[in-house]
Structure 1
Amino acid sequence: MRWDRLFDDLEDQLASEWEAERAALDTEAERLRLSRVALREWLEAIAGQAGGATPSIELVDGTVLSGHVEGVGADWIALEPSGSRPATLLVPLSSIASIGMAHADVLRSARPAATARSPLADRLTLGYVLRDLVRRRAGVALQLATGRLLTGTIDRAGADHLDLALHDPGAPRRASEVTGHRLVAFSAIAFVRVEHPTALV
Protein backbone atom coordinates (compact mmCIF):
# COMPACT_ATOMS: atom_id res chain seq x y z
CA MET A 1 0.00 0.00 0.00
CA ARG A 2 2.86 2.35 0.94
CA TRP A 3 4.63 1.58 -2.37
CA ASP A 4 1.48 2.31 -4.34
CA ARG A 5 1.28 5.74 -2.73
CA LEU A 6 4.94 6.37 -3.45
CA PHE A 7 4.51 5.46 -7.15
CA ASP A 8 1.40 7.64 -7.39
CA ASP A 9 3.30 10.56 -5.82
CA LEU A 10 6.23 10.05 -8.20
CA GLU A 11 3.88 9.91 -11.22
CA ASP A 12 2.14 13.10 -10.09
CA GLN A 13 5.49 14.82 -9.55
CA LEU A 14 6.77 13.70 -12.95
CA ALA A 15 3.55 14.85 -14.66
CA SER A 16 3.83 18.25 -12.95
CA GLU A 17 7.45 18.62 -14.03
CA TRP A 18 6.58 17.69 -17.63
CA GLU A 19 3.70 20.20 -17.63
CA ALA A 20 5.92 22.97 -16.21
CA GLU A 21 8.64 22.22 -18.79
CA ARG A 22 6.12 22.22 -21.65
CA ALA A 23 4.63 25.54 -20.44
CA ALA A 24 8.12 27.06 -20.27
CA LEU A 25 8.90 25.85 -23.81
CA ASP A 26 5.57 27.21 -25.11
CA THR A 27 6.26 30.56 -23.46
CA GLU A 28 9.76 30.72 -24.92
CA ALA A 29 8.49 29.73 -28.39
CA GLU A 30 5.89 32.52 -28.22
CA ARG A 31 8.55 35.04 -27.15
CA LEU A 32 10.71 33.94 -30.06
CA ARG A 33 7.78 34.24 -32.51
CA LEU A 34 6.90 37.73 -31.26
CA SER A 35 10.54 38.81 -31.50
CA ARG A 36 10.33 38.21 -35.26
CA VAL A 37 7.11 40.19 -35.87
CA ALA A 38 7.81 43.40 -37.80
CA LEU A 39 5.63 46.52 -37.57
CA ARG A 40 4.43 45.88 -41.12
CA GLU A 41 3.14 42.40 -40.17
CA TRP A 42 1.36 43.84 -37.14
CA LEU A 43 -0.33 46.43 -39.38
CA GLU A 44 -1.32 43.68 -41.84
CA ALA A 45 -3.05 41.88 -38.96
CA ILE A 46 -5.40 44.83 -38.42
CA ALA A 47 -5.77 45.93 -42.07
CA GLY A 48 -9.24 45.87 -43.56
CA GLN A 49 -11.03 44.76 -40.41
CA ALA A 50 -14.60 46.06 -40.70
CA GLY A 51 -15.56 47.62 -37.40
CA GLY A 52 -12.15 46.65 -36.07
CA ALA A 53 -9.36 48.58 -34.50
CA THR A 54 -9.00 52.30 -35.14
CA PRO A 55 -5.39 53.07 -34.30
CA SER A 56 -4.05 56.49 -33.46
CA ILE A 57 -0.85 56.87 -35.49
CA GLU A 58 1.72 59.46 -34.42
CA LEU A 59 4.14 60.47 -37.14
CA VAL A 60 7.73 61.62 -36.72
CA ASP A 61 6.63 65.22 -37.42
CA GLY A 62 4.21 65.10 -34.46
CA THR A 63 1.05 64.76 -36.57
CA VAL A 64 -1.49 62.31 -35.16
CA LEU A 65 -3.71 60.41 -37.61
CA SER A 66 -6.69 58.28 -36.66
CA GLY A 67 -8.48 55.88 -38.95
CA HIS A 68 -8.76 52.37 -40.34
CA VAL A 69 -5.77 50.70 -41.97
CA GLU A 70 -7.16 49.71 -45.37
CA GLY A 71 -4.04 48.21 -46.92
CA VAL A 72 -0.35 47.55 -46.38
CA GLY A 73 2.29 47.73 -49.08
CA ALA A 74 6.00 46.96 -49.01
CA ASP A 75 6.90 50.21 -47.21
CA TRP A 76 3.63 52.11 -46.69
CA ILE A 77 0.08 51.82 -45.38
CA ALA A 78 -3.21 53.14 -46.74
CA LEU A 79 -5.23 54.79 -43.99
CA GLU A 80 -8.86 55.87 -44.23
CA PRO A 81 -9.02 58.82 -41.84
CA SER A 82 -11.85 59.07 -39.32
CA GLY A 83 -14.43 61.83 -39.48
CA SER A 84 -13.40 63.61 -42.66
CA ARG A 85 -14.36 63.85 -46.29
CA PRO A 86 -13.58 60.74 -48.35
CA ALA A 87 -9.85 60.44 -48.78
CA THR A 88 -7.02 57.99 -48.45
CA LEU A 89 -3.73 58.70 -46.73
CA LEU A 90 -0.58 56.96 -47.93
CA VAL A 91 1.74 56.80 -44.93
CA PRO A 92 5.34 55.59 -45.36
CA LEU A 93 6.27 53.13 -42.60
CA SER A 94 9.42 55.18 -42.00
CA SER A 95 7.31 58.18 -40.94
CA ILE A 96 5.45 56.27 -38.19
CA ALA A 97 6.76 57.08 -34.71
CA SER A 98 4.17 55.27 -32.56
CA ILE A 99 0.73 53.67 -32.69
CA GLY A 100 -1.90 53.89 -29.97
CA MET A 101 -4.61 51.23 -29.60
CA ALA A 102 -6.76 49.57 -27.00
CA HIS A 103 -4.89 46.80 -25.17
CA ALA A 104 -7.34 44.13 -26.39
CA ASP A 105 -6.66 45.16 -30.01
CA VAL A 106 -2.91 45.02 -29.43
CA LEU A 107 -3.21 41.47 -28.05
CA ARG A 108 -5.52 40.38 -30.88
CA SER A 109 -3.14 41.73 -33.53
CA ALA A 110 -0.20 39.86 -31.96
CA ARG A 111 -1.73 36.51 -32.85
CA PRO A 112 -0.26 34.62 -35.81
CA ALA A 113 -1.79 35.62 -39.15
CA ALA A 114 -4.67 33.38 -40.22
CA THR A 115 -4.03 33.99 -43.91
CA ALA A 116 -0.81 34.05 -45.88
CA ARG A 117 0.63 37.39 -46.90
CA SER A 118 0.24 38.31 -50.55
CA PRO A 119 3.57 38.20 -52.43
CA LEU A 120 2.27 41.11 -54.53
CA ALA A 121 2.10 43.34 -51.43
CA ASP A 122 5.85 42.85 -50.97
CA ARG A 123 6.41 44.42 -54.39
CA LEU A 124 3.99 47.35 -54.03
CA THR A 125 6.39 50.04 -52.90
CA LEU A 126 5.50 53.66 -52.22
CA GLY A 127 7.17 54.58 -55.51
CA TYR A 128 4.93 52.15 -57.40
CA VAL A 129 1.75 53.65 -55.91
CA LEU A 130 2.96 57.21 -56.56
CA ARG A 131 3.67 56.31 -60.20
CA ASP A 132 0.07 55.09 -60.44
CA LEU A 133 -1.08 58.50 -59.16
CA VAL A 134 1.09 60.13 -61.86
CA ARG A 135 -0.69 58.04 -64.50
CA ARG A 136 -4.12 58.98 -63.12
CA ARG A 137 -3.22 62.69 -62.72
CA ALA A 138 -4.72 62.64 -59.22
CA GLY A 139 -4.50 65.76 -57.09
CA VAL A 140 -2.63 65.24 -53.83
CA ALA A 141 -1.59 67.01 -50.65
CA LEU A 142 1.89 66.12 -49.40
CA GLN A 143 2.57 66.59 -45.71
CA LEU A 144 6.32 66.82 -45.25
CA ALA A 145 8.19 65.65 -42.15
CA THR A 146 9.06 69.32 -41.56
CA GLY A 147 5.34 70.10 -41.13
CA ARG A 148 4.99 71.89 -44.46
CA LEU A 149 2.00 71.05 -46.66
CA LEU A 150 2.35 71.02 -50.47
CA THR A 151 -0.62 70.59 -52.82
CA GLY A 152 -0.66 69.79 -56.48
CA THR A 153 -0.23 66.95 -58.97
CA ILE A 154 2.67 64.50 -59.12
CA ASP A 155 4.27 64.81 -62.57
CA ARG A 156 6.91 62.09 -62.13
CA ALA A 157 7.95 59.60 -59.47
CA GLY A 158 11.51 58.28 -59.48
CA ALA A 159 13.30 55.69 -57.39
CA ASP A 160 13.51 57.86 -54.27
CA HIS A 161 11.81 61.17 -55.10
CA LEU A 162 8.87 62.74 -56.88
CA ASP A 163 8.32 65.87 -58.97
CA LEU A 164 5.30 67.84 -57.75
CA ALA A 165 3.59 70.55 -59.82
CA LEU A 166 2.26 72.98 -57.22
CA HIS A 167 -1.30 74.32 -57.54
CA ASP A 168 -4.31 74.98 -55.33
CA PRO A 169 -6.23 71.97 -53.99
CA GLY A 170 -9.01 70.90 -56.33
CA ALA A 171 -7.64 72.93 -59.24
CA PRO A 172 -6.82 71.05 -62.44
CA ARG A 173 -3.17 70.62 -63.40
CA ARG A 174 -2.94 73.25 -66.11
CA ALA A 175 0.09 75.39 -66.92
CA SER A 176 -1.90 78.50 -65.95
CA GLU A 177 -2.72 77.02 -62.50
CA VAL A 178 0.79 75.77 -61.64
CA THR A 179 2.65 78.11 -59.28
CA GLY A 180 5.91 76.16 -59.10
CA HIS A 181 7.59 72.76 -58.95
CA ARG A 182 9.22 70.81 -56.14
CA LEU A 183 11.38 67.71 -56.13
CA VAL A 184 10.51 65.89 -52.92
CA ALA A 185 12.51 62.99 -51.47
CA PHE A 186 10.36 60.05 -50.39
CA SER A 187 12.21 60.14 -47.06
CA ALA A 188 10.82 63.67 -46.44
CA ILE A 189 7.16 62.62 -46.83
CA ALA A 190 5.06 62.23 -43.67
CA PHE A 191 1.97 61.27 -45.67
CA VAL A 192 0.24 61.78 -49.00
CA ARG A 193 -3.45 62.66 -48.99
CA VAL A 194 -5.42 61.54 -52.05
CA GLU A 195 -8.83 63.19 -52.16
CA HIS A 196 -10.31 60.57 -54.50
CA PRO A 197 -9.50 57.08 -53.14
CA THR A 198 -10.58 55.56 -56.45
CA ALA A 199 -7.37 56.99 -57.89
CA LEU A 200 -5.40 54.39 -55.96
CA VAL A 201 -4.11 51.09 -57.31
Structure 2
Amino acid sequence: MRWDRFFDDLEDQLASEWEAERAALDTEAERLRLSRVQLVERLTLLVAREGAPAAASFDLCDGTTLRAHVTGVGADWAALSPSEGPSGAVLVPFGSFVAIGMPHADLLRTARPAPARSALADRLTFGFVLRDLVRRRAGVAVHLTVGRVLTGTIDRAGADHLDIALHEPGAPRRADAVTGYRIVPFASIAWVRADAAPLLP
Protein backbone atom coordinates (compact mmCIF):
# COMPACT_ATOMS: atom_id res chain seq x y z
CA MET A 1 0.00 0.00 0.00
CA ARG A 2 2.84 2.38 0.80
CA TRP A 3 4.24 1.90 -2.72
CA ASP A 4 0.82 2.75 -4.22
CA ARG A 5 0.74 5.98 -2.21
CA PHE A 6 4.33 6.73 -3.21
CA PHE A 7 3.52 6.36 -6.95
CA ASP A 8 0.34 8.40 -6.52
CA ASP A 9 2.38 11.16 -4.86
CA LEU A 10 4.94 11.05 -7.67
CA GLU A 11 2.18 11.22 -10.26
CA ASP A 12 0.55 14.21 -8.50
CA GLN A 13 3.92 15.96 -8.21
CA LEU A 14 4.65 15.38 -11.91
CA ALA A 15 1.18 16.69 -12.87
CA SER A 16 1.70 19.80 -10.72
CA GLU A 17 5.10 20.48 -12.26
CA TRP A 18 3.67 20.00 -15.75
CA GLU A 19 0.80 22.43 -14.99
CA ALA A 20 3.25 24.99 -13.57
CA GLU A 21 5.47 24.69 -16.65
CA ARG A 22 2.48 25.04 -18.96
CA ALA A 23 1.24 28.11 -17.04
CA ALA A 24 4.73 29.66 -17.29
CA LEU A 25 4.79 29.01 -21.06
CA ASP A 26 1.29 30.47 -21.44
CA THR A 27 2.36 33.57 -19.48
CA GLU A 28 5.49 33.99 -21.59
CA ALA A 29 3.47 33.53 -24.80
CA GLU A 30 1.03 36.21 -23.60
CA ARG A 31 3.90 38.59 -22.80
CA LEU A 32 5.32 38.01 -26.27
CA ARG A 33 1.89 38.62 -27.88
CA LEU A 34 1.41 41.85 -25.89
CA SER A 35 4.88 43.07 -26.89
CA ARG A 36 3.65 43.09 -30.51
CA VAL A 37 0.35 44.93 -29.92
CA GLN A 38 0.23 48.35 -31.58
CA LEU A 39 -1.82 51.43 -30.66
CA VAL A 40 -3.87 51.10 -33.86
CA GLU A 41 -5.12 47.68 -32.68
CA ARG A 42 -6.11 48.96 -29.25
CA LEU A 43 -7.92 51.96 -30.73
CA THR A 44 -9.71 49.65 -33.18
CA LEU A 45 -11.11 47.71 -30.23
CA LEU A 46 -12.50 51.00 -28.83
CA VAL A 47 -14.54 51.77 -31.96
CA ALA A 48 -18.12 52.48 -30.86
CA ARG A 49 -20.47 49.57 -31.47
CA GLU A 50 -23.13 47.73 -29.48
CA GLY A 51 -21.89 47.12 -25.96
CA ALA A 52 -19.07 49.58 -26.60
CA PRO A 53 -17.08 51.00 -23.72
CA ALA A 54 -17.91 54.31 -22.10
CA ALA A 55 -16.28 57.41 -23.51
CA ALA A 56 -12.54 57.48 -22.95
CA SER A 57 -10.46 60.48 -21.93
CA PHE A 58 -7.93 61.53 -24.58
CA ASP A 59 -5.03 63.77 -23.52
CA LEU A 60 -3.57 65.46 -26.60
CA CYS A 61 -0.20 67.08 -27.25
CA ASP A 62 -1.61 70.64 -27.25
CA GLY A 63 -2.84 70.23 -23.66
CA THR A 64 -6.45 69.48 -24.62
CA THR A 65 -8.34 66.64 -22.95
CA LEU A 66 -11.34 65.27 -24.86
CA ARG A 67 -13.97 62.87 -23.51
CA ALA A 68 -14.99 60.97 -26.61
CA HIS A 69 -15.83 57.69 -28.33
CA VAL A 70 -13.62 56.31 -31.09
CA THR A 71 -15.70 56.11 -34.28
CA GLY A 72 -13.02 55.09 -36.78
CA VAL A 73 -9.34 54.28 -37.08
CA GLY A 74 -7.19 54.83 -40.14
CA ALA A 75 -3.57 53.99 -40.84
CA ASP A 76 -2.13 56.78 -38.67
CA TRP A 77 -5.13 58.62 -37.18
CA ALA A 78 -8.34 58.09 -35.21
CA ALA A 79 -11.75 59.72 -35.53
CA LEU A 80 -13.39 60.71 -32.25
CA SER A 81 -16.93 61.76 -31.42
CA PRO A 82 -16.74 64.13 -28.42
CA SER A 83 -19.21 63.59 -25.57
CA GLU A 84 -19.55 67.34 -25.03
CA GLY A 85 -18.94 70.60 -26.86
CA PRO A 86 -19.61 71.42 -30.51
CA SER A 87 -20.72 68.63 -32.81
CA GLY A 88 -18.57 67.36 -35.64
CA ALA A 89 -15.86 64.80 -36.15
CA VAL A 90 -12.47 65.11 -34.46
CA LEU A 91 -9.46 63.69 -36.31
CA VAL A 92 -6.33 62.98 -34.29
CA PRO A 93 -3.01 61.77 -35.71
CA PHE A 94 -1.56 58.97 -33.55
CA GLY A 95 1.46 61.11 -32.69
CA SER A 96 -0.80 63.62 -30.93
CA PHE A 97 -2.06 61.18 -28.29
CA VAL A 98 -0.25 61.79 -24.99
CA ALA A 99 -2.39 59.43 -22.86
CA ILE A 100 -5.75 57.67 -23.05
CA GLY A 101 -7.76 57.11 -19.88
CA MET A 102 -10.52 54.52 -19.50
CA PRO A 103 -11.97 52.10 -16.93
CA HIS A 104 -9.76 49.09 -16.15
CA ALA A 105 -12.19 46.64 -17.81
CA ASP A 106 -11.98 48.57 -21.11
CA LEU A 107 -8.19 48.79 -20.79
CA LEU A 108 -7.97 45.00 -20.49
CA ARG A 109 -10.45 44.50 -23.35
CA THR A 110 -8.28 46.56 -25.70
CA ALA A 111 -5.28 44.33 -24.93
CA ARG A 112 -7.08 41.30 -26.37
CA PRO A 113 -6.35 40.21 -29.94
CA ALA A 114 -8.02 42.62 -32.38
CA PRO A 115 -9.97 41.38 -35.39
CA ALA A 116 -8.22 41.69 -38.73
CA ARG A 117 -8.43 45.22 -40.14
CA SER A 118 -9.57 45.85 -43.67
CA ALA A 119 -6.95 46.67 -46.27
CA LEU A 120 -8.85 49.93 -46.90
CA ALA A 121 -8.45 51.06 -43.27
CA ASP A 122 -4.70 50.46 -43.50
CA ARG A 123 -4.51 52.68 -46.61
CA LEU A 124 -6.53 55.58 -45.17
CA THR A 125 -3.77 57.92 -44.03
CA PHE A 126 -4.22 61.27 -42.27
CA GLY A 127 -3.57 63.01 -45.61
CA PHE A 128 -6.21 60.88 -47.33
CA VAL A 129 -8.91 61.80 -44.80
CA LEU A 130 -7.96 65.49 -45.02
CA ARG A 131 -8.30 65.30 -48.83
CA ASP A 132 -11.83 63.97 -48.23
CA LEU A 133 -12.55 67.15 -46.22
CA VAL A 134 -11.14 69.22 -49.12
CA ARG A 135 -13.58 67.49 -51.48
CA ARG A 136 -16.50 68.14 -49.11
CA ARG A 137 -15.44 71.82 -48.59
CA ALA A 138 -16.06 71.24 -44.88
CA GLY A 139 -15.28 73.95 -42.38
CA VAL A 140 -12.53 72.98 -39.96
CA ALA A 141 -10.75 74.10 -36.82
CA VAL A 142 -7.12 73.00 -37.02
CA HIS A 143 -5.63 72.81 -33.51
CA LEU A 144 -1.87 73.20 -33.62
CA THR A 145 0.63 71.59 -31.25
CA VAL A 146 1.62 75.09 -30.05
CA GLY A 147 -1.93 75.74 -28.78
CA ARG A 148 -3.17 78.02 -31.59
CA VAL A 149 -6.33 77.27 -33.59
CA LEU A 150 -6.79 78.03 -37.30
CA THR A 151 -10.39 78.07 -38.56
CA GLY A 152 -11.44 77.95 -42.18
CA THR A 153 -11.55 75.54 -45.09
CA ILE A 154 -8.79 73.23 -46.27
CA ASP A 155 -8.04 74.06 -49.92
CA ARG A 156 -5.42 71.36 -50.54
CA ALA A 157 -3.84 68.47 -48.63
CA GLY A 158 -0.47 67.19 -49.77
CA ALA A 159 1.63 64.26 -48.59
CA ASP A 160 2.74 65.99 -45.38
CA HIS A 161 1.02 69.38 -45.22
CA LEU A 162 -2.22 71.22 -45.96
CA ASP A 163 -3.25 74.65 -47.24
CA ILE A 164 -6.01 76.33 -45.26
CA ALA A 165 -8.03 79.42 -46.22
CA LEU A 166 -8.75 81.27 -42.97
CA HIS A 167 -12.25 82.55 -42.25
CA GLU A 168 -14.73 82.74 -39.38
CA PRO A 169 -15.96 79.40 -37.97
CA GLY A 170 -19.25 78.25 -39.47
CA ALA A 171 -19.06 80.69 -42.39
CA PRO A 172 -18.89 79.40 -45.96
CA ARG A 173 -15.61 79.83 -47.80
CA ARG A 174 -16.06 82.90 -49.98
CA ALA A 175 -13.26 85.00 -51.40
CA ASP A 176 -14.45 88.11 -49.54
CA ALA A 177 -14.65 86.19 -46.21
CA VAL A 178 -11.11 84.80 -46.39
CA THR A 179 -8.71 86.67 -44.09
CA GLY A 180 -5.53 84.80 -45.02
CA TYR A 181 -3.91 81.54 -46.04
CA ARG A 182 -1.54 79.18 -44.25
CA ILE A 183 0.54 76.14 -45.17
CA VAL A 184 0.44 73.80 -42.17
CA PRO A 185 2.75 70.76 -41.87
CA PHE A 186 0.96 67.66 -40.58
CA ALA A 187 3.65 67.38 -37.87
CA SER A 188 2.38 70.63 -36.30
CA ILE A 189 -1.29 69.48 -36.16
CA ALA A 190 -2.55 68.25 -32.79
CA TRP A 191 -6.10 67.58 -33.98
CA VAL A 192 -8.75 68.75 -36.43
CA ARG A 193 -12.44 69.35 -35.73
CA ALA A 194 -14.49 69.10 -38.92
CA ASP A 195 -18.03 70.38 -39.44
CA ALA A 196 -18.77 67.46 -41.79
CA ALA A 197 -17.97 63.85 -41.03
CA PRO A 198 -15.13 62.56 -43.22
CA LEU A 199 -14.95 59.18 -44.91
CA LEU A 200 -14.33 56.58 -42.20
CA PRO A 201 -13.02 53.02 -42.52
Query: Is this a same-fold pair by TM over 0.5?
Result: yes
Instruction: Specify the alignment match of 1:81 in structure 2.
Output: 82
Moved over 4 A (4+): none
Q: Is 1:184 aligned to 2:165, yes or no?
A: no
Q: Which residue of 2 aligns with 1:65?
A: 66
Q: State the secondary structure of the residue aligned to 1:71.
A: strand
Distance across 2 between alignment mates of 1:78 and 1:45: 13
Paired letter, 2:193? R
Counterpart Cα distance in 1 of 2:31 and 2:49: 26
> Within the alignment, does 1:41 sit opposite 2:41 as a pair?
yes
Name the structure 2 match of 1:132.
132
Question: Partner of 1:160 in structure 2?
Answer: 160
Q: Give the deviation of 1:62 after TM superposition.
A: 1.1
Residue in 2 aligned with 1:8? 8
Structure 2: gaps spanning 5 or more residues: none
Q: Quick one: distance in 1 between partners of 2:131 and 2:60?
A: 23
Report the Cα distance in structure 2 between the residues aligned to 1:159 and 1:83, rounded to whole angstroms.
Answer: 32
Q: How does 1:141-160 map to 2 (within 5 A)?
A: 141-160=141-160
How far the C-alpha of 1:148 sits from its partner, in A, is 0.2
- Give the letter for the 2:136 counterpart: R
Distance in structure 1 (CA, Å) of the matches to 2:127 and 2:65:
23
Q: Which residue of 2 aligns with 1:102?
A: 103
Letter paired with 1:146: V
Aligned residues: 199
Deviations, residues 45-85 of structure 1 (Å, cap 9, x unaligned): 11123442311010112111111000000000000001234
Q: Normalising by structure 1, what TM-score?
A: 0.95
Distance in 1 between the 2:2 and 2:194 partners? 80
1:170 match = 170
So what's the TM-score if we normalise by structure 2?
0.95
Unpaired segments of 5 or more residues in structure 1? none
CA contact (8 A) 1:46 1:53 kept: no
User: How far, CA to CA, are the matches of 1:86 and 1:149 in structure 2?
Assistant: 17
Match status 1:122 vs 2:107:
no
Report the aligned-residue RMSD.
Answer: 1.1
Instruction: Tell me by how many angstroms 1:164 deviates.
Output: 0.2
Distance in 1 separating the partners of 2:40 and 2:116: 14
The share of aligned pairs that are identical, in percent, is: 68
Inter-partner Cα distance in structure 1 for 2:145 and 2:104: 29
**Whole-angstrom distance in 2 between the partners of 1:25 and 1:109:** 22
d(CA) in 2 for partners of 1:158 and 1:82?
Answer: 31
